[in-house]
Every structure is written in C-alpha cells, then in structure tokens.
Structure 1
Amino acid sequence: MRMIRTLCAVLTAIYLLSGSVLAAQGTKNAHQEIQNGLLETRGPHGGLLLQQDDVSVELLIFEQGVPPEYRAWIMKNSQQVIENANLKVELTRLGGQKDIFDFTFDGDYWLGQGVVAEPHSFDVSVMLNYKGRNYHWQWESYEGRTQIATDTAEKAGIQTAKAGPGVIEQTVKTYGLLTTALDRVSQVRARFPGVVIRVTANLGDLVSQGDAVAEVESNESLQTYVVRAPIDGVITERHINGGEVTGETALFAITDLSTLWAELRVFPGQRREVAVGQTVRVTADGIDRQGTVRHLLPAGDDTPYILARVGVDNSDGLLTPGLLVAGDLVVDTVEVPLAVDNRALQSFRDWTVVFIQVGDTYEIRPLELGRSDGEITEVLSGLQPGDRYVVENSYLIKADIEKSGATHDH
C-alpha cells in the first residue's frame, strides 16, 4: 500500500506540473514568434546574425577546445570587415546577475573578454558603436529554465532552501549488530516457594512496571500472592506454567527494548580515529538513528577488532536485537562557506546541478563540488550564497525542464 500511495503522489505531481509546462511553453512560443526573424538568421561562422541598416554583427559562443567565449565578426555591407568599433555584450541572468563582455579585435574576429559561464541562459543585450552611431539588439536566450506557479509547486511537494555555509562530517564506516542492553533485562522470580496458580503474561507481551504476570500460592502460608513486573518491557523469556512449583529458577525475563546497543566492529586501521564520546549515525533495516560511542571493548580472544558500543534510541519500537547495523563514526568536522543538501543534486547533461528558484521561475545551476559526507556537499562554484534552491522533489523540476525541450543553442 505504501508503494501504491507513493506512486500515486508522484503521478499527481507530474500531472500538476504538466499543466504548468504547457502554460510556460505557450508563453515561450509566443515570444519566439516575435523573435523568429532574429533567432533564425545565422552567419557564415554559425553565429547569430544581427543586422541594422548596412552594419551586421555575427555573434557566436565558441567552445571547441576552449572554455566558452564570445567571438564576433562585424561587417559593413556584408563584405567589409570592421576593425575599429566598440562592441559590448551584457547578459542578465535569472536573479539579476549581470555579466558584461568587452571585445577586442584579434585579427580574424572580435574576442569577448572572459568566460561565458554555464548555464547559457540569460537576457542578451548587444551594443555597438561604430563611427559615432549606436546600434542595439536585445533578446531572450533561455535554457534549462521553466516556470511553475506557486500553488502548483506546493501541491507537487516542491520545497526549497537557502544556500549557505555548512559543516561537512568526516566519518569512518563500521558494521555490527544491534544487541540488548544487559542492564535493561530483569529476571523475575517468586518471592516465596509455592505453586503457580495462574500465569497472566505470555512470551512477547508488552508489560508496564507493576503489572501482574503470575499468581503463586505460598507453601508456608498457603496465601496467594501476585508476582508483578519490576520494569517496563517485553516478556522475552517464560519458564513457568500453571500448576508448577516455583524454585530458584526465574519465572520470566523482561527486557526493556527502548534503548538498544549497536556493537560496531572497529579494526586496527580505524582504531586511532575512534574514541569514546564520538557521534555515530547508525542505520538498521532502513531506519536511521544517532548516538554516541559509550564504550570501547575487546571483542574476544583471537579477534582482530574491538567493539564500539553505541546507545541507540528505540522508544518507537521499530528496531529489534539481532539486526545488522551500519555505523558512520564522525571523526572530524569541517566548516565550509557554501554547501547544499544532497537531496537537491541532479544529473543534467554532463553536469551535476541544482535548480534555483526566483519567484515562479526555476533554472539549472551546474556545480563544481568538493567534499561530501553523504548528507551535504561543499560547493566550490556555480552557486551564490543566498540563492534559493530546490531540495524536495528536485527530480520533478528536471522532468519539467526536459519536457519543455530546453536547448543549448546560441
């Protein structure tokens, strides 16, 4: 049932977003119709051909064997090469960042100063001054971008976070078993020898301190007394039935399973990095918990490892002794100036990206990544502090952009 509910939620989200895509695509197509005369005109070098009166500028983002750079060819009457002019390109990115490129004549073409960073998605403004006359062209050139209405995004479960500093945890991976805490097991015995009149607790029953678990008739007084649970817990052993005579043997064992021990194997190569008091993230049967190393104990003769014992909260009763457990022992922490939640990371073309949000607009941001601890990852470039990026359901944004047919066309 859980799988069916999850699938239904995903399908609902995709359905909601599909309507948003159609609306955004309609706006995009209308704009393209206005710009078709500009966007479909190409020059001899494959660049966008901008024309006004007898002056033309062919503008190209060149990225063959070099970081993406602007190259331009300025012509008069489509034949005469113009070498004395002032050319500038201004790119306005989502969020308001402006990249300005001045051009110098390089012998065969005009070269823009600087790298055209990805994504190549921006509002473009081209300004040319030639012989005292100003020429100006502007248009939208978007890729990896989509629009989703706020209420639609909320219904689809899309959530964002603000990019900022983070703490990367360096960990040592260990494995072991969940065990019962020995100090949380109580052996229940009869106070006086006698005959068991009634047993009121069975194996596996959950009992509270003071609950009756059996009744015994004393051999000396012939009076019946009640045997009660000394602690909260689960009946994990039962050694008596009605009509039997009590003795030194325990009638029951009651185990408090609200706290378990994770006994993690620490091998010689890891020993120097592990100490009492360290934080540990443990995972068992798909359930995550956090605790601290309480003890470091020998595992036994002829054993090459020691045991790091970690107290694990089990107040919800989801874990049981005997489960295999993986532990990440935090041996060091490093503060980084910019990090993102790993849930936000998606693959897009040859990049690892997140999707930033500005109002109802979402757009890819290819990232250069650094250290990671499996929860968050350091960002070296591609994102700015304060950028709001999609964390929950970022794959829906990816699917939305891919549906819209975003291109890498300059």
Structure 2
Amino acid sequence: MKKPLLMIVGAIAVLAAAAFLYPNAPSGNAAPPGKDAKHGEKGHDEGHGAEGVVEMTDAKVAAAGIEIVTAAPATLHDSIILNGILQPNQEALVQVTPRFPGVVREIKKRIGDSVEKGELLAKIESNQSLSVYEMRAPFSGTVIDRQISLGEYASEQKPAFVVADISTVWVDLSVYRRDLPRVRLGDAILIDVGDGGDPIKAELSYVSPVGSADTQSALVRAVVANDGMRLRTGLFVSARLILSAKQVPVAVKGSALQTVENRNVVFVRSGEKFEARDVEIGSRDSENIEIVFGVMDGDKYAARNSFVVKAELGKGEASHDH
C-alpha cells in the first residue's frame, strides 16, 4: 500500500509545480498562442478571396489595359511568313520608245501622271527628216518611269516612257527551299502592306519552276487588285501563306495563356472577379490557342495584358503567406 500512495503524492506534486510555473497555460482543446481553432494562424483569410480568384473593378481593368474577350469557335491556320516586294503588273505595262532618233522638243507628262489611251506624251524632232513627230500613250494608265529630258537626244534603243495600269499589282514573294514542297498554286495568302490597315487576302497565281542560286529560294506571285491605290510598287511587304486550316470549338488568344505553379491557366472574368482556370490546350497558331478543357464557348477572359492579373494573384498569395 505504501508504493501506490507514494505515486499519487508524486503526481500531485508535479501538477502543482506546473500550475505554479505556467499559470496561463491553455487547457483542453484550446489552440496554442498565436493560433485559432478554425484558421490556424490568426487572420489567415482576412482581406483575401477564394484561392485562385482576383478581384478587380472595371475601372482598374481599363486602367491596366487588360483586354476582355469572349471565348468562341475559331479557325487555326498552319502558315509560314514570306517576304517580298510590290511590282508593276508586267502584263499591263508598256515601254514607249521613239520611232526615230532625235531631239526632245516638248514633254507633256511626268512620272505619276495619269494618261488616257492616245494622249500626247512628248514631241521628238527626227534627225533624219528634221520633222517633229508625236509620242502617244498606247493605253490608259499611269506613267511610272520617264527616261528623257527636254532638249536631249532620244534614241529608239531606250524607252522614253513606261506606262502601266496600276489597278492591279504583282506581289512577288520568296520561298526558301525547305518550304517549297508545301507550296501550291491557289494557296491563300494574307498580305501585310505595313500601313496599319487590314491584311489583303489573295491567292498564289504563279510558282516559279526555277530557283535563285544566290538566295536559295524561289519566286511565288499573287496578282492583287490595288483598291484605293493602297499598293505602291517598289515597297517591301510580308505575307502569311496559309497551308492548312482547322476548325476548333473553343479558342482563346495566345496572350491569354499564363503559367501559375507550372499549370496553364486562363483568367476568366465573372462580375468584378477573375478566376484562374486550369486549362488543357490543343492546337495553336500565331494568334489563337485551342482550349480542350477549362474554358467554355461564351466565357469572358483576360487576353492582352493578362499578366497583370497574374501579378495581382501573386500579391494575394504572398499576403496569405504572411
């Protein structure tokens, strides 16, 4: 009986000492200091929304330049970029040469002037007969070159004027040898004139059977209507040659795709909130990305400047960590 009694007395002594040393110690299921039973760290969720959600007012979205676009079906294009130059349509161009050598006595037209068929271009005094004869436009068009000056000697060996119908122009493009097997007559191209306007749609009408030894490329050509005289011969252009097209049920702009913790996400807009949606992507082209899963047709999302939303999400996660 003495031994159990001694054990009980010892336990009471230990409890009494603990109470003396730690008078404010919690008891039962109370959380440790600095914690609460529901959230762990105090204030962990204060001031923040659900995980992966960023709240931004419409005014803040506009100020950040974030573009809101609606997900929709799209056509994805497999394409290559070609560079080239605008040329006069050689099938609608005439070099006007003197019939007889002589001295230029009068000039009526300059480069850039429009002419009608039969309109006077210049007068030449023949060296043989000393009589003056006229040079007239063979058809209606525009004077794109002139090689004579008043009082100089004009020879039948050199064109005096070049008259062209510039209502159509040639778009001559270079295709490198590695891409030549993929190019066919009738292929669609989108021509970027470089003036800030919309691309011009056209089709290839010629593929050269020979290549250039200097550039290791071959010439392809499209004949394009020069609406509004937008196309100026001699200027460089680029064009996107469309090799194939694929219809997809849902696509977003390439600028919408962001990476968060090694996951592909798109920020979907609902009210004044963006939700980071995990997405599965499929095919893509230079502009759009197919969305296999994660975004639906009709969802609104952040496209241009979507990285701003990602930065805001990062700020929220950092405040959670503290």
Alpha-carbon separation, structure 1, partners of 2:64 and 2:131:
70
Match of 2:234 in 1: 321
Alpha-carbon separation, structure 1, partners of 2:267 and 2:54:
9
Higher relative contact order (CA 8 A, sep 6+): 2
Alpha-carbon separation, structure 2, partners of 1:254 and 1:247:
18
Q: How does 1:145-294 map to 2 (within 5 A)?
A: 145-149=54-58, 158-171=66-79, 173=80, 175-180=82-87, 181-190=89-98, 195-202=103-110, 205-210=111-116, 214-216=121-123, 227-228=136-137, 230-233=139-142, 235=144, 237-248=145-156, 249-255=158-164, 256=166, 259-265=169-175, 267=177, 270-282=179-191, 289-294=200-205
Q: How does 1:252-401 map to 2 (within 5 A)?
A: 252-255=161-164, 256=166, 259-265=169-175, 267=177, 270-282=179-191, 289-300=200-211, 306-311=218-223, 315=227, 317=230, 320-321=233-234, 323=236, 327-347=239-259, 350-391=262-303, 394-395=304-305, 398-399=307-308
Match of 1:50 in 2: 38
1:146-173: per-residue Cα shift (whole Å, max 9, x none)? 32236x65677654332122222223x3
Pick closer, same or farther for the CA change 1:376–1:264 going to 2, 3 Å.
Answer: same
Pick closer, same or farther for the CA change 1:277–1:241 going to 2, 3 Å.
Answer: same
1:200-242: per-residue Cα shift (whole Å, max 9, x none)? 544xx4222339774315657967757458444462x322111
1:163-189: per-residue Cα shift (whole Å, max 9, x none)? 122222223x36453252322433134
Alpha-carbon separation, structure 1, partners of 2:255 and 2:225:
25
Alpha-carbon separation, structure 2, partners of 1:292 and 1:379:
30
1:85-110: per-residue Cα shift (whole Å, max 9, x none)? xxxxxxxxxxxxxxxxxxxxxxxxxx
Pick closer, same or farther for the CA change 1:357–1:302 going to 2, 3 Å.
Answer: closer
Alpha-carbon separation, structure 2, partners of 1:364 and 1:250:
68
Q: What RMSD in Å do the two structures reach over aligned CA positions?
A: 4.3
Report the residue type matching 1:259 in the other structure.
V
Report the residue type matching 1:310 in the other structure.
A
Match 1:407 to one of 310, 317, 321? 317
- TM-score normalized with structure 2 length: 0.64
Residues 233 and 257 in structure 1, CA contact (< 8 A), matched pair in contact too:
no
Report the residue type matching 1:207 in the other structure.
D
Pick closer, same or farther for the CA change 1:222–1:260 going to 2, 3 Å.
Answer: same
Alpha-carbon separation, structure 2, partners of 1:354 and 1:284:
33
1:298-356: per-residue Cα shift (whole Å, max 9, x none)? 12587976433233566554665373x65543222222221112243445564444332
Residues 211 and 219 in structure 2, CA contact (< 8 A), matched pair in contact too:
no
Percent identity over paired residues: 21
SS at match of 1:402: helix
- TM-score normalized with structure 1 length: 0.52
Residues 109 and 143 in structure 2, CA contact (< 8 A), matched pair in contact too:
no
Report the residue type matching 2:308 in the other structure.
A
Alpha-carbon separation, structure 2, partners of 1:400 and 1:270:
39
Pick closer, same or farther for the CA change 1:176–1:357 going to 2, 3 Å.
Answer: closer
Residues 53 and 273 in structure 2, CA contact (< 8 A), matched pair in contact too:
no
Alpha-carbon separation, structure 2, partners of 1:257 and 1:145:
54
Unaligned runs of 5+ in 1: 1-42, 52-57, 59-122, 124-138
Say which one has the larger Rg. 2
Residues 174 and 329 in structure 1, CA contact (< 8 A), matched pair in contact too:
yes
Alpha-carbon separation, structure 1, partners of 2:107 and 2:112:
15
Pick closer, same or farther for the CA change 1:240–1:265 going to 2, 3 Å.
Answer: same
Pick closer, same or farther for the CA change 1:182–1:347 going to 2, 3 Å.
Answer: farther
Aligned length: 271
SS at match of 1:407: helix
Alpha-carbon separation, structure 2, partners of 1:386 and 1:300:
48
Pick closer, same or farther for the CA change 1:372–1:179 going to 2, 3 Å.
Answer: same
Unaligned runs of 5+ in 2: 1-30
